[in-house]
Amino acid sequence: MDLDPLICHKPLSRWMAQHPILRDIRALRETAWVNPGMLPTAQALSGCPLTLADVEDASDRLDRFADYFRTAFPETRAWGGILESPVRAIPAMQHCLEADHGIPLPGRLWIKLDSHLPISGSIKARGGIYEVLKTAEDIALRHGLLRPGDPYRLFDRPEFRAVLSQYSIAVGSTGNLGLSIGIMGAKLGFRVTVHMSADAREWKKDLLRSKGVTVMEYPSDYSAAVAQGRKEAEDDPHCHFVDDENSQTLFLGYAVAALRLKVQLDRAGVRVDREHPLFIYLPCGVGGGPGGVAFGLKLVYGDNAHCFFAEPTHSCCMLLGLATGLNHHISVQDLGLDNRTAADGLAVGRASGFVGKLLAPFLSGCYSLEDHRMYRMLAQLANTEALRLEPSALAGMYGPVLLAKDPILSAYPAQYGLTSTQLVQSTQLVWATGGSMVPPEEMDRYYAKGQALLNS
């Protein structure tokens, strides 16, 4: 390979000289970065093309579909047809991390269990399912099948499925997005094609095929699978391509999480204000999921929400793009990294340009971590809280540890004028992004690997 490739008309060596952090990233060192470009939320919002009204519109659409979910997916009845996940404190895990790292963690450790979202068991059940629903609604309105005010359980009728079956949906995915789009799309009657990267787990492909979804497999990584999906959809006016790298619709579906989290935290008596800041740690792949959620949280909580993205050292594309300002014009492969990680949901070498640009003034920072840490924390969380998650979903769990002891991240609170009292009163919310649908044998293997690392 070219050891000094041109990136945006400049040799890599020049970028490296300008941004010393690139040396750490290239050496696969765990790297933390605080965003010097973060702005006060009001100022960031004034320059942002999306608003609270856009997120509320998405939320209203999901509310309209609750009627359909109660009929078509009885497992959603407990939540009234709303796809939502629990949030809770994890004090035993907090003690375990404190003992493991020999340092007290600030505030109280909580977890948001998007790993347990209904239908597809990952954070992709937010954006992915939302985009399928919006596509179905648009088509039904256009065909005059649906009029404003009609009950949405109509979508479960054969006439609706017959019309939607004239349309197709395509998507490129490392696994979970394909799972969400495939299950939801097939249920509504769409013909769905999922272009899977080499990282996608076999069970996800099998499950999709069992639902009548066409699964295309690629030996290459996520970006290639997306490009192929985009290309095939281009020539077909009846095909909707879910563009994980650029879709505003996906992004808004994810952002709805924040409106609901506020209700959940209020109910649980968790205060978020200047004296009680909220830190959120989100695993990041291409950026849409964590970006949408973080954007929503900044809309809801403003400057009292501090959002950090977590990525594997081999796939830290968002860290790379934001720290250099090159955004999606640089990939981890440009630095010679292989984009291979056990965190298959995060195996993305080039971040979303749309999300990187939009999030730049809102995000507090990023960090990367090695796979073995995710496995260790996977076993620790199973041991202490009886929660079984996939490796990707543990990436955020390392954030509170870094905030306590990493030289760069531990300096963040003081930089933003937060006192140690405020830090003690903070909520440290780890966003768990997937795992409840992993087959038990596969989960046992993940756990065994983590437990072996803990014992060694």
Ligand X SMILES: *Cc1c(COP(=O)(O)O)cnc(C)c1O
Length of the chain: 456
Per DSSP bridges, beta strands 214-217 and 191-196 are parallel
Angstrom distance (rounded) from CA 221 to CA 339: 8
Smallest separation (angstroms) from ligand X to the CB of 200: 10
Applying CB under 6 A, among 392, 422, 426, 427 the residue interacting with ligand X is: 392
User: Are 54 and 358 within 8 A, CB to CB?
Assistant: no
Applying CB under 6 A, among 58, 90, 123, 397 the residue interacting with ligand X is: 123
Kindly tell me which of 81 and 434 has the beta carbon lying closer to ligand X.
434
In the stretch 126-165, what mask flags binding to ligand X with x, by CB under 6 A? ----------------------------------------
Kindly tell me which of 106 and 121 has the beta carbon lying closer to ligand X.
121
Which residue type is seen at 307? C
Kindly tell me which of 140 and 196 has the beta carbon lying closer to ligand X.
196
Kindly tell me which of 145 and 310 has the beta carbon lying closer to ligand X.
310
Q: Applying CB under 6 A, does 193 fall inside the site for ligand X?
A: no
Which residue type is seen at 147? R
281-310 binders of ligand X (CB under 6 A): 283-290
Kindly tell me which of 123 and 418 has the beta carbon lying closer to ligand X.
123
The C-alpha angle with vertex 42 and arms to 39 and 43, in degrees rounded to 5, equals 50
Copy the structure tokens of residue 144. Answer: 């005059």
User: Are 313 and 30 within 8 A, CB to CB?
Assistant: yes
**Considering CB under 6 A, how many residues would be counted as binding ligand X?**
20
Smallest separation (angstroms) from ligand X to the CB of 296: 14
Other Cβ atoms less than 10 A from the Cβ of 336: the count is 13
User: Are 158 and 152 within 8 A, CB to CB?
Assistant: no
Which residue type is seen at 455? N
Q: Which range touches ligand X (CB under 6 A), out of 322-330, 334-342, 387-395, 408-416?
A: 387-395
Copy the structure tokens of residue 52. Answer: 């609270």
Angstrom distance (rounded) from CA 58 to CA 118: 18
Applying CB under 6 A, among 321, 345, 400, 450 the residue interacting with ligand X is: 345
Copy the structure tokens of residue 225. Answer: 């699978």
Applying CB under 6 A, among 124, 126, 298, 449 the residue interacting with ligand X is: 124
DSSP tag of 120: T
Applying CB under 6 A, among 393, 394, 403, 409 the residue interacting with ligand X is: 393
Angstrom distance (rounded) from CA 315 to CA 175: 16
In the stretch 162-191, what mask flags binding to ligand X with x, by CB under 6 A? --------------x---------------
Kindly tell me which of 110 and 431 has the beta carbon lying closer to ligand X.
431
Q: Applying CB under 6 A, does 331 fall inside the site for ligand X?
A: no
Q: Which range touches ligand X (CB under 6 A), out of 28-36, 128-136, 327-335, 389-397?
A: 389-397
SS3 assignment for 392-420: HHHHHHHHHHHHHHCCCHHHHHHHCCCCH
Q: Which residue in this structure is represented by tokens 């929503």?
A: 296
Task: Please give the residue ranges that form the binding site for ligand X (CB under 6 A).
Answer: 122-124, 176, 283-290, 345-346, 348, 390, 392-393, 433-434
